[in-house]
Structure 1
Amino acid sequence: MKYLNFSKITVHSFRHTLALLLLEVGAPIKTVQAQLGHKDIQTTGTSTHVSESVKEKTTKLLHDYIQF
């Protein structure tokens, strides 16, 4: 069997992915912080990248809340 040439994925990369996926499904950032074991919320905010999907969900939440 011929081996596929995949790039190396580190544990650190999986942590970033976990953080992003948790935010994607709507987990509060404090919950993500606890899940990752970060003492400081700034660390959690730095290690996550806000996707377009999360931005859109946040905008919709605000829109629905203020009932525009």
Structure 2
Amino acid sequence: MKAATIVGVLLILLGIVGFSMGGFSFTHEKKDVDLGPLQVQHEQKKSVPIPPLLSTLALVGGVALVVVGVRSK
């Protein structure tokens, strides 16, 4: 397979995941106080939304790269 086809397939998968999940979230530990053996910390959840426009662009770009990769044979 050509590089354009592989990148195209990856972009298509990324676009599908972006539409299905809508974003991703992760947990970050933050230290509030650090006094020797005494530590106060808390977990903070953050979420990053994936805009539908970005998912659409990834999907369309992936399809275009797959078409270009197939036609160049």
Q: Same fold (TM over 0.5)?
A: no
TM-score, reference length from structure 1: 0.30
The structure where helix makes up a greater share of residues is: 1
Higher-RCO chain (CA-CA 8 Å, sequence separation at least 6)? 2
Q: Hey, which of these two has a bigger chunk of strand by percent?
A: 2
Which structure would you say has the larger Rg?
A: 2
